[in-house]
Structure 1
């Protein structure tokens, strides 16, 4: 029955729609976001992923990459993105993170010019920041928005991959 349903969908939607080119990443839970951004638990989480800390080298600040897709040529947030931002907003309200400041870093893939991608990544980071401030009452002093355009690809071997289109949240340390 499942194969018949899939075949019917492929017929209705067209064959290319049946073969996703890239896997859809799962949205982390609020607790996963808190653990990834909390300096006391992030090191434990990272070691589980096989990331090793080199003695004498400062560890990177706790961070998490979140997939917040935007419509083409837009910084407007849609429905699925609201779920990601809801979980992020709840995480930033959590008492374990309440005393920290965060960087909201927008990234794009390599399609388009450097200037275009830079402006787009800045607009998207700003949209996420403003949403968190307005809907989750996060103190604006705790959130910095910056765009990196296509300069920091997470998948450099696949520069046009959707994986590169992301918003990264980085713990900047105690807020002032």
Structure 2
């Protein structure tokens, strides 16, 4: 199956699920982090337990959604950050909306992808959390974001390089498999809700647990 047809399948199945569902569910938890601990990150990224469904609900379509999402994630695994198309970046963002996630306010040196010294404790906490047996088998998206200062092309490139920098550190320092880390950059296109686009808080790295093992194990 081509990447474009895989993306189409994920969107169609997800749209059908949302239209036919009679329950509500909570999207992945997003926690702003400053002096974050590994336990806080672990709790935010922990797979969520499936909701209990009423007897009157139509047969669940989550297995089909998970299968389509899995095929899409496999199609971008081991891809370079720069090689992702705009459509693929948006597909990642769509899937991530329902997954456990956390925002880390990781600072970098000015005009650089080098992690600042003051943010190293947060990156170390992230590495410790992602190395936990509780998250074994999960695939994580590491998404870079910038504020709106500067041009679109410049910020897109900077967000990609910063996501790559985090991935490289996690691989080298904690031995996390590169195939389990998918990096993506969004530049200034996705500011945090309720903030002005130029707010410095928009300069962040979001980590998403794309494999919800609790749901998968229940099917």
The reply to whether TM is greater than 0.5 is: yes
Is residue 26 of structure 1 aligned with residue 34 of structure 2?
yes
For residue 36 of structure 1, the aligned residue among 27, 40, 44 is 44
- TM-score by length of structure 2 reads 0.59
Which consecutive aligned stretches of 4+ in structure 1 deviate over 4 angstroms post-superposition?
none
Secondary structure, counterpart of 1:126 in structure 2: helix
Structure with the bigger percentage of strand: 1
In structure 1, what is the equivalent of residue 116 of structure 2?
78
- TM-score by length of structure 1 reads 0.72
In structure 1, what is the equivalent of residue 168 of structure 2?
130
**Separation of aligned partners in 2, 1:34 and 1:100:** 12
**Separation of aligned partners in 1, 2:212 and 2:180:** 9
- The number of residue pairs the alignment matches comes to 139
**Separation of aligned partners in 2, 1:36 and 1:81:** 19
- Give a deviation string over 1:15-68, Cα, whole Å, max 9, x none: xxxxxxxxxx63221111001001137x9xxxxxxxxxxxx9x97100000011
Between 1:152-161 and 1:63-72, the stretch displaced more is 152-161
Is residue 140 of structure 1 aligned with residue 178 of structure 2?
yes
Deviation at 1:174?
A: 6.3
**Separation of aligned partners in 2, 1:166 and 1:105:** 8
Is residue 89 of structure 1 aligned with residue 127 of structure 2?
yes
2:99–2:212 Cα contact (<8 Å) kept? no
For residue 158 of structure 2, the aligned residue among 120, 123, 141 is 120
**Separation of aligned partners in 2, 1:132 and 1:174:** 21
For residue 63 of structure 1, the aligned residue among 78, 87, 101 is 101
1:110–1:159 Cα contact (<8 Å) kept? yes
Residues 117 and 37 of structure 1: is their aligned pair in 2 closer, same or farther, counting only changes over 3 Å? same
- C-alpha RMSD of matched pairs (Å): 2.5
Residues 32 and 166 of structure 1: is their aligned pair in 2 closer, same or farther, counting only changes over 3 Å? same
